[in-house]
A and B are shown apart, each in its own frame.
Chain A
């Protein structure tokens, strides 16, 4: 056969073969994308940022390996506290391996906890700048986790981590509106619980967060009662205290002391737990009805007024001005 003719036949065969497989490959590719076995192609920004070599390796089917290398690089940035570089590296890492829980959680941990703590103590910046950098780092950590949740709707741990960050005693002030952040925390915990894989504390945490949202006390009380009824293990001191507090706000009992004894089992136990709860103002837990019942219990238990817990100073919520001072 003449060489030219042979080449023509070969080219036609290659094209014909390609045309035959095209619909099958296209539908298989779509199917794999839909079930999450393939990820969307890297965008040009990520390809540029990871560099030509890594980009070639990643495109050669080794995305997770490049992500592993970048994770080592990110750790290097963490040790020398180069937060901008660390953030950029984690952006690349999660583009390469969006289904790996560890990267979403570690990236947000570095931003919302490590970088934020660094700025609290950074002596080279004035107080106002430190405060803003602290707030910005926490917001970045939140945004990072929210993207993680969006990319991994079935992962309980990322959602639970988001709930934890949003209701963290030392972080919620960064979100400006605590009601919004506690409501978002409750939603995140609930989402984690709904996956069916989370531990029991996650559902209770959703309740603890919701009970701190002003205006949603009735909803929180309903949830607390359901948790109480569902399992013995749910009846933690915090849950019992919150049921008492929320009832005192939504539907105050006629005899608060009797209700406290009913919930906690004895006057001593009720006094011990509720007087402890009285001091949780920094965590922004409401304390409706607590002072009254503690006072009544103190008189019943023969505790002198000078020894009353109500006379001890309450830990005031730590203000941002207190945290960020120029001295």
Chain B
């Protein structure tokens, strides 16, 4: 019978193995030169500063549109890059290990298959995390500089007009809310959570898929259909009211139960529009993402556990 210290050491060895595999997967992906896309992101983040269309506002409210534009372009690019990286990188990993015969070497050792899969998934998540972190730093820097410029300009204008201090403070708060806020960091976290769910889902698909292309295609399809899941759920729950038949009921039920609800992570749009995400809401989104990631990883292990190579 194992005592407490033995249990701890088994746990430690699992964690160590997962971390080693994760670091290896991360290095492997970095060597594929994925970070080159950051140059494109930099162009987007800086370029979004120049979409300064003639507008209806007077000088007392000018400039906030540019801040919204920077956030919209940057978070849009982050979403796109993170989803593409998480799907493509995960889809590549297993076939590449088979092709390089690394998989045989690893599985010949006493490495539990769940450790191998968890390590690979963690490696992809690390890559997505580092990518988002770099993009976030760049976006925050651009936004911070631009917000200061807009604020200086508007405070100068308000002071010239002799606005009372409370009005200037209110205006400054409005401008700052459009700049770099904690909610904006929350939106970046939501981008990461959605990409993590996609990576774990792509991992599940890749355990029974026969090619990288198949995994990537199916995963992208699931990503897009996942944004309809909430609609399917509503249709299922109100199916009797609209007189749909049994087939419609079954289809909507299947979509509801099988696919993740990606619409939940569209809170990003609200942040771009200047709204605040409460911490509790953020916590709930993290819980949802953890639930999906854990389930898909365990399901991947279940499929992968006795797969012959």
Interface residues of A (CB under 8 A from B): 1, 6, 9-10, 13-15, 17-19, 21-22, 24-26, 28-29, 31-32, 35-39, 41, 56, 59-65, 67-68, 71-72, 75, 97, 99-100, 102, 105-106, 109, 113, 157, 197, 199-200, 233
Contact = CB atoms under 8 A, between A and B. Distances in A.
B224 to A, nearest CB: 6
A113 B56 contact: yes
Contact of A14 (B61, B299, B306): B299
Given A56-B224, A100-B68, A61 B262 contact: yes
Given A28-B284, A59-B224, A37 B261 contact: no
A97 B269 contact: yes
**Which 10 pairs, one residue from A and one from B, show the smallest C-beta to C-beta distance?**
A18-B257, A65-B76, A109-B56, A99-B273, A37-B270, A64-B272, A37-B267, A59-B227, A64-B72, A68-B72
A64 B224 contact: no
Contacts of B163: 199
Counting contact residues on chain B (CB < 8 A from A), the size range is 35 or more
A233 B163 CA distance: 10
A6 B194 contact: no
Contacts of A17: 257, 295
Contact of A64 (B76, B258, B291, B299): B76
Interface string B224-243: 10011011010001000000
A116 to B, nearest CB: 13
B273 A100 contact: yes
Given A18-B258, A61-B194, A41 B295 contact: no
A36 B237 CA distance: 22
B73 A37 contact: no
B212 interface: no
A105 to B, nearest CB: 6
Given A64-B76, A64-B272, A68-B69, 20 more contacts: A10-B303, A14-B299, A15-B258, A22-B233, A25-B264, A28-B284, A37-B275, A38-B263, A39-B266, A41-B230, A60-B223, A60-B227, A61-B79, A62-B76, A64-B75, A65-B73, A75-B53, A97-B273, A99-B270, A200-B164
A293 B261 CA distance: 72
A37 B291 CA distance: 21
A197 B177 CA distance: 13
Given A32-B264, A97-B273, A106-B56, A72 B51 contact: yes
B303 A6 contact: yes
B57 interface: yes
Contacts of B306: 1
14 contacts: A14-B257, A15-B258, A26-B237, A29-B233, A29-B261, A37-B270, A37-B275, A38-B266, A41-B230, A59-B228, A61-B194, A99-B273, A100-B68, A109-B56
B288 A28 contact: yes
B257 A22 contact: yes
Contacts, number: 138
A233 B164 contact: yes
A56 B256 CA distance: 19
Contacts of A15: 257-258
Contacts of A197: 170, 174
B68 A61 contact: no
- Which of B54, B80, B257 counts the most A-chain CB atoms under 10 A from its CB? B257
A10 B233 CA distance: 22
A100 B303 CA distance: 46
Given A39-B269, A62-B79, A6 B68 contact: no
A29 B170 contact: no
B182 to A, nearest CB: 15
A156 to B, nearest CB: 10
B176 interface: no
Nearest to B83: A60
B209 interface: no
B98 interface: no
B57 A105 contact: yes
Interface in B246-264: 256-258, 261-264
B291 to A, nearest CB: 6
Given A19-B257, A28-B284, A200 B295 contact: no
Contacts of B54: 75
Nearest to A97: B273
Given A65-B72, A200-B167, A38 B270 contact: yes
B53 A25 contact: no
A57 to B, nearest CB: 9
Nearest to B55: A106
Given A15-B257, A25-B233, A9 B302 contact: yes
Given A25-B288, A233-B164, A14 B258 contact: yes
Contacts of A26: 233, 237
B277 interface: yes
B23 interface: no
B232 to A, nearest CB: 11
Interface string B266-292: 111110111101100100100010010
Contacts of A109: 56
A36 B284 CA distance: 16
Contacts of B237: 26
